[in-house]
Amino acid sequence: GDSVTQMEGPVTLSEEAFLTINCTYTATGYPSLFWYVQYPGEGLQLLLKATKADDKGSNKGFEATYRKETTSFHLEKGSVQVSDSAVYFCALRNSGGYQKVTFGIGTKLQVIP
């Protein structure tokens, strides 16, 4: 079945550091890929998405490129802020079956001043 792999963390960075959170996936067909963010005490909200190979999703300074050849969707940000501290989930949704969203385990990011 479909699966998403990402590091659990926590990842601790200083403010203004460069962020990379790796995400790789296994899926049949042509899934859409997503990054969700969960701030403390809140539900998940969409950060960015990409729906086909070589698409780049971007939002709030975060970017991720859909790489079909490496089955990856790594999240990057050039300069993190304390307000970016949250848990980040990589996810995919496939066109087959019942269109379930499959999540990675989530990566906790802590940004210190």
Whether 65 and 41 have beta carbons less than 8 Å apart is answered as no
85 contacts 21 by C-beta, under 8 angstroms: no
Q: Which of residues 37-56 bind other proteins (CB under 8 A)?
A: 42-46, 49, 51
Which residue's entry shows tokens 């980040």? 88
Q: What x-and-dash track marks residues 70-109 binding other proteins by CB under 8 A? A: -------------------x---xxx--xxxx-xxxx---
Is 19 a binder of other proteins (CB under 8 A)?
A: no
What angle is formed at CA 57 by the lines to CA 56 and CA 63, rounded to 5 degrees? 90
- Quote the least distance from Cβ 11 to other proteins, whole Å: 15
- Backbone phi, psi, residue 7, to 5°: -75, 145
Determine which residue in the list 25, 34, 66, 73 makes contact with other proteins, applying CB under 8 A.
34
Q: How far is the CB of 106 from other proteins (least distance, A)?
A: 5
